[in-house]
Amino acid sequence: MIVGFVYICVAVLALMFMITVHEFGHYLAAKLLKFKVNEFSIGFGKAIFKHKSKRTGEIFSIRMIPLGGYCAFEGEDEAGSAFTGGNKQQSEMGVKSSLAPKEGEIRYDQQKPWKRLVVLFSGAFANFVCGIVFCFILVTCVGYYQNVKITSVENPETSSWQYSTQIKTGDIITEINGEKMSLLKNYNSKMSKFGEGEKFTLTILRNGAVLHEEVSKEKITREDGTRYTGLGLLSGEIHYEKMSIGAGVGKAFSFSWELAILILNFLGQMVTGKISWSEMGGTFSTISIMSEAISYGMVNLLILIPLISINLAVFNLLPIPALDGARMVFVFIEWVRGKPINPAIENRIHTIGLLVLLGFVLLLDLNYLVFSRF
């Protein structure tokens, strides 16, 4: 019970770290472009920690509900915007500064559109950078490409189980149909694409020699009478190939791009109904999945951080009201027409969008809870 709680805490801290990175991206860009910042907050609800800078008047806080964060600016209410991992209006409506903007600092609603776009985009950009950094750590410290070493093959003389005679104990499977296995395209995912009787080629390293064996999945009958489709009764170990620093840099960028495409494909399938609701989840289910993965090994945290960090970046850039992407759309419209949309209308749109978004996330969590337990 205590161990499970520790894993949940690690998952929550990892999620809060990625939210902090997102909000710090907004904050850093805002400071560089001379925006007047009122508050930098991680989480929503009642503050459990709060510090006010005597020099700038900025408030730095940690709040009870670790489901997002915000970076509040002087004059953002008048412009109808908020820079959030969730939404500022959930905690304190219109955080006001006790100090006037310092010399050189400008209210949000008085900043040029391009500067506001930069600040809006910087949260997602920070998540992308974070994802790339952790992808680099992952491929150089753990590995990207994987091999499968066969540790045992059932002896046909003592068992009625069928098996693939081409595969032997000690073989190392390095490729399937000429393609290497990787973190995203691993052995199991590649094998699942082949049906019964469908032939494919395994590249095998055996006693220093490279072999190409044509195999097919067949129905395997167990001694207890149960059947499954596979290559036979094989046991194996997965080994990852660590990359050099030079190769790791390039792979970190390409791997991050692969993750972004994977997330976009998932969102597209979700919209078109190709993915079942039972496969979706919200914030709490994300924490649950993260904690379960971490329980199998802390190395999984190195896989989850870039995945969720890039997921935050992609998701926040979608043109959904209350997210950074939608706020960027409003700034673009203002830039083109030469004047902003009525702040009250924009705020109303974002508020409705936020409520719908929160309701949807809650529904996904309830859906995950029901389908994962029953």
Q: Are 327 and 108 spatial neighbours (Cβ–Cβ below 8 Å)?
A: no
Is the pLDDT at 276 greater than 50? The verdict is yes
Give just the sign of the alpha carbon dihedral 114, 257, 298, 371. positive
Is the pLDDT at 254 greater than 90? The verdict is yes
Interior CA angle at 307 toward 301 and 308, to 5°? 85
Helices (H) and strands (E) in the chain, counts: 9, 11
Is the pLDDT at 342 greater than 70? The verdict is yes
Range of weakest confidence among 23-32, 83-92, 271-280: 83-92
Q: What's the CA gap between 71 and 53, in Å, rounded?
A: 15
Residue type, position 58, single letter: E
Q: What's the CA gap between 88 and 150, in Å, rounded?
A: 54
Is the pLDDT at 319 greater than 70? The verdict is yes
Nearest to residue 233, comparing CAs of 218, 216, 217, 220?
220
Provide the pairing of β-strand 145-153 with 83-84. Answer: unpaired
As a residue count, the chain comes to: 374
Read off the DSSP letter of residue 198: -
Q: Residue 63 has what pLDDT?
A: 87
Is the pLDDT at 85 greater than 70? The verdict is no
Average pLDDT over the chain, rounded to whole?
A: 80
Q: Are 196 and 229 spatial neighbours (Cβ–Cβ below 8 Å)?
A: yes
Residue type, position 87, single letter: N
Q: Are 96 and 58 spatial neighbours (Cβ–Cβ below 8 Å)?
A: no
Secondary element (H or E) of residue 140:
helix 113-141
Range of weakest confidence among 11-25, 118-132, 294-308: 294-308
Read off the DSSP letter of residue 106: B
Q: pTM for this structure?
A: 0.79
Average pLDDT of the residues in 16-38: 91
Q: Which residues contact 12 (CB under 8 A, 6 or more apart)?
A: 66, 287
Is the pLDDT at 369 greater than 70? The verdict is no
Span 195-234, pLDDT tens digits: 888 889 999 999 889 999 888 887 777 666 677 777 777 7
If one compares 309 and 372, the residue with the highest pLDDT of the two is 309
Is the pLDDT at 116 greater than 80? The verdict is yes
Show the domains of the chain with their CATH numbers.
2-135+308-373 (no CATH), 145-241 (2.30.42.10)
Q: How far is CA 90 from the centre of its chain?
A: 23
Average pLDDT of the residues in 264-278: 76
In this structure, what token pair is assigned to residue 191?
A: 């094998």
79 band by pLDDT with thresholds 50, 70 and 90? low
Interior CA angle at 157 toward 156 and 161, to 5°? 35
Secondary element (H or E) of residue 241:
strand 234-241
Backbone angles phi, psi at 281, to 5 degrees: -160, 165
Q: Residue 172 has what pLDDT?
A: 92
Nearest to residue 14, comparing CAs of 303, 313, 251, 366?
303
Which three-class secondary structure state does DSSP give residue 183? coil
If one compares 332 and 221, the residue with the highest pLDDT of the two is 332
Is the pLDDT at 101 greater than 70? The verdict is no
Q: Residue 88 has what pLDDT?
A: 42
Is the pLDDT at 118 greater than 90? The verdict is yes
If one compares 274 and 54, the residue with the highest pLDDT of the two is 54
Average pLDDT of the residues in 14-42: 91
Taking only Cα atoms into account, the Rg of the chain, rounded to an integer number of angstroms, comes to 26
Read off the DSSP letter of residue 341: P
Q: What's the CA gap between 141 and 31, in Å, rounded?
A: 34
Cα-based torsion angle of the residue sequence 327, 363, 256, 185 in order, rounded to the nearest 10 degrees: -150
Percent of the chain beyond pLDDT 70? Answer: 78
95 band by pLDDT with thresholds 50, 70 and 90? very low
Average pLDDT of the residues in 273-296: 68
Span 123-182, pLDDT tens digits: 999 999 999 999 999 999 989 998 999 888 765 544 444 455 678 888 999 999 999 998
Q: Are 319 and 124 spatial neighbours (Cβ–Cβ below 8 Å)?
A: no
In this structure, what token pair is assigned to residue 289?
A: 């999945």
Span 35-62, pLDDT tens digits: 999 999 988 788 899 999 888 889 999 9
Average pLDDT of the residues in 302-312: 87
Q: Residue 91 has what pLDDT?
A: 35
